[in-house]
Amino acid sequence: MSRIGKMPIAVPAGVTVEVAENNKVTVKGPKGTLTRVFPAEISFSQEDGQIEVKRPDDQKKTKALHGLSRSLLNNMVVGVTDGYEKKLEVNGVGYRAAKNGKTLSLTLGYSHPVELVDPEGIETVVEGQVITVKGIDKEAVGQHAAIIREKRAPEPYKGKGIKYADEVIRRKVGKTGKK
């Protein structure tokens, strides 16, 4: 059995999980509602505040979907209760970020400012040189943070660019002087 797949998901108070036809699962909580369609091979059973994810057989495909489905459903439950956030840091002389309504404006050394509009359900907050991406959908938060980072990924010589707060940039030694 999948170690992750066989672990039950605890449903906190105030969260409702509904499984409709075609394995369409809706999770409602204090922060919002998330919906996802799971593969037909996977089944869900709900008992006394816990959800168990089950698979019918031990084929390679269903074994792979078992742990994945459990993780996705757990991420939905955590998202509607606590939400997710990713922090990015802007490093470099003249590099800065500013928020204008729903638009994130980045000055990154290009001839023009880079402007990104917050997608539905995602909020970006700028505090100095730190950009925080918040939302209830883990996948959408990570994707938007990756889009912001790719506008100027950190370079290894001076460390300039946008990096995740917990990311460590491996620095390289620059050119040596002429002897």
Residue 123 falls within a domain, yes or no?
yes
Q: Is 170 within a domain?
A: no
| Residue 55 token pair | 């698979």
Token pair in block for residue 34: 């998330």
88 and 72 within one domain: no
Q: Which domain holds residue 50?
A: 2-80
pLDDT in tens, 41-97: 999 999 888 999 999 999 999 999 999 999 999 999 999 999 999 999 999 999 999
Share of the chain above pLDDT 90, in %: 86
Whether 75 and 114 share a structural domain: no
